[in-house]
Amino acid sequence: MSLPASAQQAVSAFSQCPGWEQRARLLMQWGERLEPLSDAERCEANRVHGCESQVWLVSEQQGQRWQFRAASEARLLRGLLALLLARVNGLPNEELAQLDLPAWFAQLGLERQLSPSRSNGLRAVLSRMQQLMQAANQGSTNH
């Protein structure tokens, strides 16, 4: 399974950071790259439940591939979301369904910085992505 280009960029950027402070700074910079969501998109229907911080997730299916956009008030979480999106955007259904979240953050050297609550929140975001995908797949079989 090859990584999307944006995920490869993330791996090379984070692998050049010798310590946590540089990684934290880089994480904040990645968070600033998130495309902002409109006020209308920051609605209850798009809110991800299971996160301590507020997180909103918007999805769009393009053929068999997915594009997600996400937002959060928490700066560190925004960075983690940006890295999650770098890994999942453009993936086909099968790869999205099988994504190993802990392995992805371990590849970036960030696994130790994921507190249990952050890990749970990111898992909630990933499972929401997978729910949206499954709902879309069930909808498309009815046409």
Quick: pLDDT tens for 27-73.
Answer: 999 999 999 999 999 999 999 998 788 999 999 988 888 999 999 99
The total of other beta-carbon atoms located within 10 Å of residue 25's CB is: 12
Coil, strand, or helix at residue 3?
Answer: coil
Residue 72 CA to residue 56 CA, distance in Å, equals 7
Angle at which helix 5-15 crosses helix 75-88, to 10 degrees, equals 130
CATH number of the domain residue 122 falls in: 3.90.1010.10
- 131 pLDDT more than 70: yes
- Percentage above 70 pLDDT, the chain: 97
- Please pick, among 51, 58, 126, 132, the residue that the annotation labels catalytic: 51
Query: Which domain does 71 fall in, by range?
Result: 5-141
Question: What is the reported pLDDT for 104?
Answer: 94
Using CA atoms, how far apart are residues 14 and 104, in angstroms rounded to an integer? 12
Q: Bigger pLDDT: 132 or 113?
A: 132
Catalytic residue list contains 17: no
Per the structure, the count of domains in the chain is: 1
112, pLDDT greater than 90 = no
Segment 10-26 mean pLDDT: 92
